[in-house]
Amino acid sequence: MRTLLLALALAGCSSSEPPSQPAPVTRVSKDPTAARALIDAGATVIDVRSPEEFAEGHLAKAVNLPVAQVDSRISEVVTLVGGNRNQPVVVYCAAGGRAAKAKRALETAGFTNVVNGGGFDDLR
């Protein structure tokens, strides 16, 4: 009886489903070439790194808006683009990951022309 219960318990723990696959790695989509062209044409430039990173060096036209503050400071970005959410905005950070998050936040807030410029070194 004990063997039968053990066999039933083990059978109940097994699954006919294949083991789950690891989540695919998401690549950060950045476009430094397009970002440089937009910057040269007068796009709003937002550095989403920390204030300390910004103080160590940044693009001349950049405004510092740390990625963790983007959602709560959308009104400032609206002011930067003169109220026109269709104006080009370039976001950058150290490598592109935080800029990708900021890009998504701005697009969620209705900005239609946001480019992830990648990292600071990609753009200087």
What does the pLDDT look like over 69-108, one tens digit per residue? 999 999 999 999 999 999 999 999 999 999 999 999 999 9
**Which of 38, 93, 100, 106 is flagged as catalytic?**
93
| pTM of structure | 0.79
93 is catalytic: yes
Distances (CA, A) of 22 to 12, 53, 97, 101: 24, 33, 20, 22
Residue 120 neighbours by CB under 8 Å, 6+ apart: 47, 49, 53, 57, 58, 59, 92, 93, 94
What is the C-alpha to C-alpha distance for residues 39 and 36, in angstroms, rounded to an integer?
A: 5
Nearest residue to 112 (alpha-carbon basis) of 87, 75, 92 = 87
